[in-house]
A and B are shown apart, each in its own frame.
Chain A
């Protein structure tokens, strides 16, 4: 095997949380539109023909991750089937040898990778909006154009995350960090310290977004210390700050826009 992976320069947890949404345990894939398509058959075909580049679970590898709500080359199912059948020249080969039924099954399986469980959400969305406002969420998140873009953008978050995930993220953010999210602390040569979310990194430099949403680009050799706080988040665990009812209302508010994006 010789193909080179298509590199995704990780834009940290900030953008990544939306773009690279991973399937998380407990999520139930649901195939809706392609009611006749067989996701189980699609999975078998995927493992045989697609897994080499997209990973056995579609989480990406040398090819991009497919477990995301919006696929740039496949805005709708018709486009997705075309991509599967014809490929994306020059690097993605097409499944020209597959039957229409196989292509439909594959498309259904690919869509199932990013389906958000349509779980019913208890709680009062209107009250949740008030909780959102009083709890200072907008000091770190943008929603509908308002707020500070430190943490993930919450506009349309319900199309990328299930209610169950959001509940966990509010209660205890570190328990459900996005795959490529990294909180870092640096000490510069002059002894200044700074923490923030990694926006990008290469062998020689790192780009960090601080809590004010400002970006800092630093050369690693000029740092006294670069601490990668894996499994940590700058977001407080709200389970000790808000009541269970408040958190449930907040989730209801965040999921109230589902399907509008």
Chain B
């Protein structure tokens, strides 16, 4: 108990702002590298830690400092750490942990309604957001909930969507100035997707951006007939924010039904796109569609990566993504202009991209009644778990899934709140599939190095100023690679499949690395 109180006391004494995370702290996250204040640590989506105590030379000495068992299996959480307190979530559940010991300080939970059904995904939660004195959590039955950061007491909860129609939330919210931005799941249930912003203090809706334009709106013509009403376009992965341009960037998921596009002829905007939204109004500034008229379930459900670089002699504000469709893209984030794109993993569906970044479709690349073998599989060459960008190496690290599958097309019928898919796939057998951590030159997409994994991964990537890249495997390995060469330097068998994003933080000035593996959160240090 003495340690417990000492930890609390330490947290209180070490930061006068305990329990207070004004937006400026998040914007200036680099000023306090020992904390992890937002989903990707910074608003730019880098999942990069400026901490450098753990290096290539000493990483082999990493040990488990503590572990925490979740009440749910398969944790996909990306924790936050504020002044030596760690905040974790699960489905309908959140807790504050003493980051020194892993002991629980408070817990919040609420019941999952008996008639809730998850359609097309597992019951998970990918993390909280923090702003000022509140922690923000999303729920499967589609509420955004604000908790008191100090006590876990529920302050307000706002209904975001109707779970009876298939709307759900697993997303970690994004805190921007005065607002909490969230997206929804439900791409296999025929929802009409949206990105929402809520007043951080009151929970009142600030704006909504429908990812499928309604009648009279630009882009509506890209949907046949009434198909837009059930067209999907979920927004289930946390986006990023440029505080200078005051734009929110968010990925939009697949059109519905997933594998049968017959009833939704057209490009199906803004499915499988990045959208840039005015943070004040939610108005669309620009969009870029990676996969027009998708029939493979290739959501653009990725955390975008923002960085600046000189291209063709000109300073550019860039947005990058390794898309589920196996192409790496670079866009101008002020305008959405396509600048470059190329495959980063095996793909058989497109013969490249045209000058505007639109794919040139290969023949026989659509699902069929009999089945068509296509790379990548429906989970994509990478999926929701985060990539990482290191400003130190200027490399974009992505966990790659090298797997194809036989895609089938079937009839589909919309029935509210039920599965609306129109087909499916048969994955190739395990020994015909593998994974890689791939380091891409961020400015070109050229591969700098590869590290091969036994199977296609489900874990995100963390890079650090210590010159390391951390990630996890589906067989439970958590490991560190040399950020410049990909050489494996350390690995630890966690005993559970890893399907989460790693983070790094400090306690008492000492660097820690954390990862969830199935139902256990491990924290490593010296």
Interface residues in chain A, defined as those with a beta carbon under 8 Å from any beta carbon in chain B: 1-5, 7, 9-10, 44, 47-49, 51-52, 55-57, 59, 61-62, 87, 89-91, 93-94, 96-97, 179-180, 182, 201-205, 221, 228, 230
Contact = CB atoms under 8 A, between A and B. Distances in A.
Given A52-B419, A91-B123, A97-B418, A180 B429 contact: yes
Contacts of A230: 431
Interface residues of B, number: 64
B206 to A, nearest CB: 26
Contacts of A205: 493
A1 B119 CA distance: 9
Given A89-B123, A201-B475, A202-B493, A47 B424 contact: yes
B291 to A, nearest CB: 13
B419 A202 contact: no
Given A47-B423, A51-B408, A91-B123, A1 B429 contact: no
A141 B417 CA distance: 50
A202 B170 contact: no
Contacts of B120: 1-3, 52
Interface stretch (B6-14, B145-153, B378-386): B378-386
Q: Which of B297, B424, B488 has the most CB of A within 10 A?
A: B424
B265 interface: no
Contacts of A47: 408, 410, 423-424
Contacts of B214: none
Contact of B188 (A52, A56, A180): A52
A221 B418 contact: no
Interface string B454-470: 10001000000000000
A93 B119 contact: yes
A56 B425 contact: yes
Contacts of B74: 4, 91
B384 A2 contact: yes
A61 B425 contact: yes
Contacts of A203: 452-454, 473, 475, 477, 479, 491
Contacts of A7: 474-475, 497
A94 B119 CA distance: 9
A44 B413 CA distance: 12
Given A44-B410, A180-B430, A202-B473, 19 more contacts: A1-B187, A2-B120, A2-B384, A3-B120, A44-B411, A48-B419, A51-B410, A51-B424, A56-B425, A90-B118, A91-B123, A93-B117, A94-B117, A97-B415, A97-B417, A97-B418, A180-B429, A203-B491, A204-B493
Contacts of B123: 89-91
Nearest to A61: B427
Contacts of B384: 2
Interface string B307-349: 0000000000000000000000000000000000000000000
Given A52-B120, A93-B119, A179-B429, A2 B299 contact: yes
B364 interface: no
Contacts of B415: 97
12 contacts: A1-B254, A1-B297, A1-B379, A4-B499, A44-B410, A56-B408, A56-B425, A57-B426, A91-B122, A97-B417, A204-B479, A228-B431
A44 B369 CA distance: 12
Given A10-B430, A55-B427, A180-B430, A2 B301 contact: yes
A3 B454 CA distance: 20
Contacts of B421: 48, 51-52
Given A1-B378, A4-B458, A90 B91 contact: yes
B198 interface: no
A257 B488 CA distance: 50
- Interface of chain A, helix or strand or loop or mixed? loop
Nearest to B115: A96
B435 to A, nearest CB: 8
A41 to B, nearest CB: 13
A93 B117 CA distance: 6
Contacts of A182: 431
- Interface of chain B, helix or strand or loop or mixed? loop
A2 B121 contact: yes
A28 to B, nearest CB: 20
Interface of B: 72-74, 76, 91, 115, 117-124, 170, 185, 187-188, 236, 253-254, 258, 297, 299, 301, 371, 378-379, 383-384, 406, 408, 410-413, 415, 417-419, 421, 423-427, 429-431, 452-454, 458, 473-477, 479, 488, 491, 493, 497, 499
B189 to A, nearest CB: 10
Q: Which of A57, A61, A179 has the most CB of B within 10 A?
A: A61
Contacts, number: 132
B118 A93 contact: yes
A94 B299 CA distance: 24
A202 B188 contact: no
Contacts of B406: 56
A29 B350 CA distance: 38
A182 B417 CA distance: 43
A90 B411 CA distance: 28
A48 B427 CA distance: 17
Q: Which of A1, A52, A182, A204 has the most CB of B within 10 A?
A: A1
A218 to B, nearest CB: 14
B488 A1 contact: no
Q: Which 7 A-B pairs have the closest CB atoms?
A: A51-B424, A202-B475, A90-B123, A3-B121, A2-B121, A7-B497, A91-B122
A207 B440 CA distance: 33
A245 B425 CA distance: 42
A96 B236 CA distance: 25
A91 B76 CA distance: 13
A2 B419 contact: no
Contacts of B117: 87, 93-94, 96
A43 to B, nearest CB: 10
Contact of B122 (A3, A49, A59, A204): A3
A251 to B, nearest CB: 27
A10 B378 CA distance: 22
B476 A202 contact: yes
Nearest to A1: B297
Given A1-B258, A1-B299, A47-B408, A204 B477 contact: yes
Contacts of B187: 1-2
Contacts of A9: 475
A5 B378 CA distance: 12
Nearest to B415: A97
B477 A202 contact: yes
Nearest to B123: A90
A91 B479 CA distance: 27
Contact of A48 (B410, B454, B477): B410
B125 to A, nearest CB: 11
A5 B377 CA distance: 13
Contact of A56 (B118, B170, B417, B424): B424
Contacts of B253: 2
